[in-house]
Every structure is written in C-alpha cells, then in structure tokens.
Structure 1
Amino acid sequence: MQAWKKKKSLMRPARYVTRFEPIEREVIGDLTATVSEAIIKRAQSAPKDDLAEMMGIASGHKEAPEDPSLARLFPDFEKEGDEEFEGDNALLRSLHENDIARAKLQNLQVINEALGPTGGVEVSIEESEAPAFVAGLNDLRLYVAAGDMRGEGALADQEAIIEWLAFAQDSLLQAMMN
C-alpha cells in the first residue's frame, strides 16, 4: 500500500488517494463484508420489545455480545469501579446499540464504495469521507485483534493484518493532519 496523499483542486473538494496492492484490496474488501455481516446479524437478533415498538422507540440487545470480536465493537458503556458507575449498561445498550451499529455500517460502506465494484486498487475518497474511512479501518482492526484465529500461521497472519490496518489508518490520519 502506498501512503495516503491529499490532492487539492481549484474546482473540486480535496481528495485523499492511495493505491492498494490487489491482495490488500481483497483483504480489506473481505474484512468489511465479514464485519458488516456480523454487525447486521447482531442487530437482527435483538429481542423484540413490544412497549418500545408501540412507542416508536428502537431497542436493541440488553446484554453484551458473547463473540469477543463483536464485544470489542460494542463494549459496555460503564465499568464497575468507574467513578460514576450506575450499573445501567443494559438500559444504555438497549437504547443506543442500534444507532452505534448503524454508524459502524455506514463507515464500512464508505470503505466499500471507495474500493469500487470492479475491485480497483486505486482508492480515492473525498475529504468529507475521510473520518468515516478512518473509523471503519479502526473497527476492522478491533474486530481482527479480538478474533481467535487458529491454525498454522494464523496468529502471524492476524498480527500482520492488524499492523497493516494500523498503517493504513495512521497514513490517512497523517494525510488529514497535514
């Protein structure tokens, strides 16, 4: 992967561009699909709350995900021992998890749209899409880091993917700050 660069134009908004190797493009595309599917499956498995539906309030799960990868994406809002711990994780989760899932899916969609349907290795995003792209890369990195990859060489592959995602994220952040 080449480092992200900011391209300025007189007539159009600034853009960030990079070039992925074909295998990198395939990995990031596969990861966005895998993480999106896991988030959608989690949202669809939320128990129905009749009162919330009658009131027009979206409600989600009350319990944290059992899958460690999803638990990294949807952590508890409070932890026991926090200064202002009130033990309302179930309520907060049921009220906000769907909105958080929607935002995460939108960020992953920005990545998918930037990769394009033809699988091109040239990636270009508008300046306004850069924060979502960074957030999506972060979610991919967290998901992979919490995963339990097994098999010969799987741990080394997992670490390599995490490092590559961190580089891609850092490179875009550097381009955004300059």
Structure 2
Amino acid sequence: MRKWKRVEAADGARFRSALAAHESELLRSLVTSMVEMLDERETSSPTDELEVLTGMKTGHSTAPEDDTMKRLLPDFYRNQSEHPAGSGTAESLNSALRSLHEPAIIDAKREAAQRMLDTLPAAGGKFELTEADAECWASAVNDVRLALGTMLEIGPGTPDRLPEGHPMAGHLDVYQWLTVLQEYLVLALVAK
C-alpha cells in the first residue's frame, strides 16, 4: 500500500493511493466478514411491538455476548460510581438506548463498509476516492481494526512482533498494516 495523497480538485478533495491485489482481497474479506457479523446481530433482534405499531426500527435491548461485537457496539453508558438507585439504573439506561440506537449504528457501519467495498479496486492498483468515500474508508477500517484487535486481545503489553511460527503472527501483521493504512488516510483527510 502506498501513502495516501490528497489532491485538491475543482469539485473537492480527492484521495489517491494504490493497493496490491492481495491487499485488496484481504480488505474485501475482512470488511465482508465484519458486515456479516453486523447482519447476524441485526437479524437476531427480537420483534418489538413498538416497531410493529410505529414502524420505528428497534434493536436488541441487551449487549452482545461476543467480545468482538461488544467492541463494535459498546454500551452507551458506563456506571463509574455507585448510583444511589443501584447498578440497575445503568443497565436500564443502556437497554433503552441500545434498543433505540443500535439499528442506526449498524446501518451506518454497514453503509461505510459497503461504500468501501464499492470503491475498493478489485484487482488492486491505483485508485481515487472522494472525501465522503475516504471518510467511509476510515470508518470501515477502524471497525475492522477494532474487531481484529479484540480477537487478538491487543493491549498495552502486546508486542510489536510475535515469534516466527506463532499462530497469531500473521494476524498481528494484518492488524498493524490496517493501523498504518488508517493513520495515513486520516492524516490525508485532516491535511489542508
């Protein structure tokens, strides 16, 4: 992958880069897997009477059980101190907020991922993105990094490299590559 280059055009900024064919395939696979996880979460949502009556889309009222999905769809509120009403207050608040907002969050993540897939060069090579497409790329890459980082249990003590032959060495390399891809893209987006 090349660094991103920002080019000012008459109709707005453009962001140029290039990917090798295997990089395009890897991104397509990772983003598609993430979309499938989001789709599964959405389709497993119970039917809500309010949704049936009003047409207002609702989602799960409980947090995902899977750690990766918990990272992609975290709680809205964390109880940082003991509330006089008890810990049930935070749980009740999270339940209501999740039910109301999770569908829109999943839709936004899916839309960003789909825009990335639509603009990803299938066989690799040079490509150019609009600013809106570049923002979707940054969002989708971030979501994939969060998912992969959770699976790898990335934390402050994670080494930069794993020993050759370690079963997770290749996954860590992919995580680090995604980090660089995202960093360069964000730097290009904020450059003026």
Query: TM-score, normalised on structure 2?
Result: 0.83
Alignment match, 1:5: 5
Paired residue type of 2:2: Q
Distance 1:82 1:74 in 2: 22
Determine helix, strand or coil for the equivalent of 1:165.
Answer: helix
Counterparts in 2 of 1:22 and 1:153: CA distance versus 1, 3 Å? farther
- Written as runs of structure 1 = structure 2, the 5 A alignment for 1:12-91 is 12-81=11-80, 86-87=89-90, 88-91=93-96
Q: Is the Cα contact below 8 Å between 2:14 and 2:128 reproduced in 1?
A: yes
1:124 aligns with 2:132: no
State the Cα RMSD in Å.
2.0
Q: Is the Cα contact below 8 Å between 2:4 and 2:184 reproduced in 1?
A: yes
Distance 1:93 1:143 in 2: 19
Using the TM superposition, give the Cα deviation of residue 164 of structure 1 relative to its aligned residue in structure 2, in angstroms: 0.7
Counterparts in 2 of 1:174 and 1:83: CA distance versus 1, 3 Å? farther
1:171 aligns with 2:184: yes
1:107 aligns with 2:109: no
Offset from partner CA, 1:28-57 (integer Å, 9 cap, x none): 110011000110111011011123321222
Offset from partner CA, 1:68-100 (integer Å, 9 cap, x none): 111110001111226988411111101100000
Paired residue type of 1:70: M
Distance 1:168 1:133 in 2: 10
Q: Is the Cα contact below 8 Å between 1:115 and 1:121 reproduced in 2?
A: no
Distance 2:25 2:81 in 1: 41
Q: 1:142 aligns with which of 139, 146, 154?
A: 146
Length, aligned pairs only: 174
Identity %: 30
Determine helix, strand or coil for the equivalent of 1:8.
Answer: strand
Determine helix, strand or coil for the equivalent of 1:7.
Answer: strand
Distance 1:82 1:101 in 2: 29
Using the TM superposition, give the Cα deviation of residue 174 of structure 1 relative to its aligned residue in structure 2, in angstroms: 1.0
Bigger Rg, which one: 2
Alignment match, 1:162: 175
Paired residue type of 2:4: W
Q: Which runs of 5+ in 1 are unaligned?
A: none
Using the TM superposition, give the Cα deviation of residue 157 of structure 1 relative to its aligned residue in structure 2, in angstroms: 1.7
Query: TM-score, normalised on structure 1?
Result: 0.89
Paired residue type of 1:30: S
Q: Which runs of 5+ in 2 are unaligned?
A: 154-164
Determine helix, strand or coil for the equivalent of 1:14.
Answer: strand
